[in-house]
Structure 1
Amino acid sequence: MDLRQMRQFVTVAEEMHFGRAAARLNMAQPPLSQAMRRLEANMGVSLFDRAKRNVELTKAGRVFLVEARRTLLQAEVTRKMVLSAATEIPQVRISFIGPALYQVLPDVLVRFRAAVPDVHTRLFERSTPQQIQGILAGDYDVGFITNGISHAGCHSKLVERSRFVAAVPADNPLAGRDSVGMIELAGQPFILPPPKYTEQSETLNLFKSFGVVPRVEQEASQTNTTLSLVSAGLGCSLVMATAALQTFRNVVFIPLEDELPHVRWEMAMAWHPDHLTEQARNFIKIVEDHLQANPLLLDADASATGSG
């Protein structure tokens, strides 16, 4: 049994059809069927139930599918780690969500480059689900993700906490207010992430706790895109207060007047403990030192608001 046979088996299991699987693998069907017969003979078990019209996995086949996928993933991670170790210039691959650039990541990068100037940092802006997938696959060493989104298989550490504020266009009647309530905000054209993002359901539930539902007129998955839409006058939104540390033309950030003591935006640093290079471990240590030296990063009430 080798990795090639595992890939063939996984493809057949996913397609549940030898013809479609053969097409995906760019091979003829008879050699694929023969390869699966040899695999079953070598293992001494039946992996497929061929008695029915459609191919189905046996109990042993379902177990083997889980382990085959795990083995193939680990083999790919190993290949990437070896290639990374063989590069002449040591590097750390860092993925991040846009809000990481508002406060935490730039300061950490300055500290890291000062401590280890010979290590190259490669940055990749990705959504949190994309980062988790990439970390598990060995594409990224460390990621900065939205905390609270499932990241099974990764270790994580909270690196920033912020309260929420309203982001409104500068020409909106609310822009001159010192604060705004959730019920008033729900009456404005609103911008939310698409339904597949956890943040949408969390924001909707927050509004529903006040007995209202926002008028969603635009969708955006990235905070910077959301703020660009606000800048264009297309709606209002709720964003982390640290966004006010940046300059966004025609956007005003307003504190919420409602008491929301348990509602906070949080960012975490994530990594896979078995995939860390020496450079990645050094990076994590510098982030931890930075947090110790800047405890206000985890103090939601320390964030400020303003306008761009």
Structure 2
Amino acid sequence: MDLKQLNAFIAVAELKSFSAAATKTGLSQPSLSRLLKQLETDIGVMLVDRYNRPLHLTEAGTFFYDKISTILTEMDTVVSMTQRLSVPSSELNIGFVPSILYGLLPEIIAMLKQSNPEIEVNLKDISSYQQMDALKSGEIDIGFGRFAHQDPWIQQILLRHERYVVALPKAHPLANVREQRLIDLANNRLILYHQTHLPISTTVAPVANKTINNKSVNSKKPNSLHNQPLSTEAVTEPLLYLFAQYGISPFMTTTVSDLQVALGLVAAGEGITLVPASLKTVRTEQISYQSLIHENVTSPIYLHTLKDFVHPKIPDLLIAIYQVYEQRGITYRRQNFVSSL
């Protein structure tokens, strides 16, 4: 059993076609078929059912694919890390979620360049979830995200918690109320925009799915622990989870592709949403941003990097982060990444 055989099997398993797999691997179809047959002979198990179209894996093949694809991904990660260790890059590639860019990230990068004028920084807009693979492949060296992740290759530190504010259309009856309560917002359409969900669950009232103007909409009456019992349902959407913490289920929700679209709908009077406080300078001529009285309605900011390889400029980035926090009077607990090398 060798890597050529395994890569041939992975290509066939994923594409379900010998011709497509041959094109992807750069092999002829007879060579690809021969490698796959050799692999099956080596382990004594038929992995691919060749008598159906499209091709599909046998039960043993499915098990083998699940396990071996993980191992091959780890091998690719190890190779990438080894290459980076042998020739460290002078560039620092930073991944970020869009909401971070509206916050202190520009100040942090300016501070970093001020103390390290020779450094070259590349910024990449990439979701919290996608940052994990980007770190392993070497696409980024470090990532700013909003979600905690459990990954054996990744280490992370919590930088701080940022308070949420409510974004309302300027004409909304609550637009000038300085301190808002979630229960008072529950009768509005809540616009959801997160692409990454929480790895946790709580309880919330059942959701009736509807579609309005080609948008995914969940319609329901507001609920509170004080007046109606809640049924058990996993809640991993971040904004719904915030409401569920108080036993509240918004009357109606609309799910959109990203935060900018959500704020565009708020500006158009199509609903309300919650955003980190750093975004309260966006579309201020159309949107009113108001504080929430709930102190625990916050969005965390995490910093992620590899466990076994910490880019040499990351400690300087952390210094710049904490310098900006001190200038802004932000409370934080100083932390450092640990390299096992």
- The TM-score normalised by the length of structure 2 is 0.71
Quote the residue 1:101 is aligned against. 101
Quote the residue 1:213 is aligned against. 250
Distance 1:60 1:167 in 2: 49
The question of whether the paired residues in 1 share the 8 Å contact of 2:189 and 2:250 is answered with: no
Deviation readout 1:220-240 (Å, 9 max, x if unpaired): 423x43223322333211112
Determine if the alignment matches structure 1 residue 279 to structure 2 residue 313: yes
How many residues align? The count is: 289
The question of whether the paired residues in 1 share the 8 Å contact of 2:186 and 2:248 is answered with: no
Quote the residue 1:303 is aligned against. none
Amino acid at match of 1:158: L
Determine if the alignment matches structure 1 residue 232 to structure 2 residue 231: no
The question of whether the paired residues in 2 share the 8 Å contact of 1:108 and 1:287 is answered with: yes
The question of whether the paired residues in 2 share the 8 Å contact of 1:162 and 1:298 is answered with: no
Q: What is the SS of the residue equivalent to 1:198?
A: coil
Distance 1:241 1:65, change over 3 A: closer
1:45 to 35, 43, 46: 43
Q: How does 1:163-242 map to 2 (within 5 A)?
A: 163-193=163-193, 197-198=196-197, 201-208=237-244, 209-217=246-254, 219-222=256-259, 224-242=260-278
The CA deviation at 1:140 is 0.4
Q: What is the SS of the residue equivalent to 2:179?
A: coil
1:70 to 67, 74, 89: 74
The question of whether the paired residues in 1 share the 8 Å contact of 2:188 and 2:250 is answered with: no
The CA deviation at 1:249 is 2.8
Distance 1:83 1:251 in 2: 51
* Structure 1 unaligned blocks of 5 or more: 300-308
Identity %: 21
Distance 1:95 1:49, change over 3 A: closer
* Structure 2 unaligned blocks of 5 or more: 199-235, 334-341
Distance 2:70 2:149 in 1: 23
Q: How does 1:118-197 map to 2 (within 5 A)?
A: 118-148=118-148, 150=150, 153-193=153-193, 197=196
Distance 2:177 2:65 in 1: 63
The question of whether the paired residues in 1 share the 8 Å contact of 2:40 and 2:47 is answered with: no
Quote the residue 2:337 is aligned against. none
Distance 1:55 1:150, change over 3 A: closer
Determine if the alignment matches structure 1 residue 268 to structure 2 residue 267: no
Q: Which has the higher helix share?
A: 1
The question of whether the paired residues in 2 share the 8 Å contact of 1:230 and 1:236 is answered with: yes
Distance 2:318 2:270 in 1: 39
Distance 1:188 1:298, change over 3 A: farther
Distance 1:65 1:250, change over 3 A: closer
Distance 1:233 1:84 in 2: 53
The CA deviation at 1:119 is 1.0
Distance 1:266 1:253, change over 3 A: same
- The TM-score normalised by the length of structure 1 is 0.77
RMSD: 3.4
Amino acid at match of 1:273: K
The question of whether the paired residues in 1 share the 8 Å contact of 2:180 and 2:291 is answered with: yes
